[in-house]
Amino acid sequence: MDAETFKKSFLPFHRKLFCIACQLLECEADAEDLVQEAYMKLWDKRDGLSAVNNPEAFSVTLVKNMCFDILRSGKHLLSRQTVDISAITDTPINDRMEEREEAQQIKSLIASLPEQQQKVIVLKDVKGCSYEEIDEITGLNAINIRVLLSRARKRIREQYNQLNSYESR
């Protein structure tokens, strides 16, 4: 496949690929890097791409799989554990400070969980992934995901209640 055919076949999907990567990785810079890396992989395999019937589907699958590989590694997941409370603007300053402290408490409680529980709770409760997506990212089956999620939530709830009941005394 020559450069002109490659451009016509694969570059029109750049925006869509970026949006998918950005949605999965929740970071524009990481998404840009990933899409660029995906195009490099496609270019390196350009001789075999003439057999691809649907370049858009092929590109989307490649980008999703690359994102899942990054998410599966766990390093990206832990570095992105943040609870966004910057959207809170109508509440008084004291309330916002309390919410920030609570968010920080929960974030540190999540960080104290075992690795698998961290991954599952962040993917489900923070990132809003479905059980199928978590299965795809972690390789765990639905039953294991539910058990890990239940245990993680229970542990966070117990530790959070202990912290807050101690502080209120």
Distances from the Cα of 62 to the Cαs of 17, 27, 35, 56, in angstroms? 9, 18, 10, 10
Same domain, 92 and 164: yes
pTM greater than 0.85 (yes/no): no
Quick check: 102 and 116 in contact, CB under 8 A? no
Within a domain: residue 78? no
Same domain, 7 and 68: yes
**Which positions ≥6 away from 53 have C-beta within 8 Å?**
none
* The three-state (H, E, C) secondary structure of the chain, written as one string: CCHHHHHHHHHHHHHHHHHHHHHHHCCHHHHHHHHHHHHHHHHHCHHHHHHCCCHHHHHHHHHHHHHHHHHHHCHHHHHCCCCCCCCCCCCCHHHHHHHHHHHHHHHHHHHCCCHHHHHHHHHHHHCCCCHHHHHHHHCCCHHHHHHHHHHHHHHHHHHHHHHHHHHHC
State residue 123's pLDDT score: 84
Same domain, 107 and 50: no
Same domain, 103 and 56: no
Reply yes or no on whether the pLDDT at 40 is more than 90: yes
User: Rounded CA gap, 165 and 168, in Å?
Assistant: 5
Half-sphere exposure of 40 (CA within 13 A, CB side): 7
pLDDT for 56-105, tens place per residue? 999 999 999 998 888 877 655 555 544 444 444 555 556 667 777 888 88
Residue 139, number of CB atoms within 10 A of its CB: 9
Quick check: 107 and 162 in contact, CB under 8 A? no
Q: How many domains does the chain have?
A: 2
Same domain, 97 and 161: yes
Domain assignment of residue 141, given as a range: 87-168
Angle 93-111/142-168 helices, nearest 10 degrees?
130
Same domain, 99 and 149: yes
pLDDT for 93-148, tens place per residue? 566 677 778 888 888 888 888 988 888 888 888 878 888 888 888 888 889 999 99
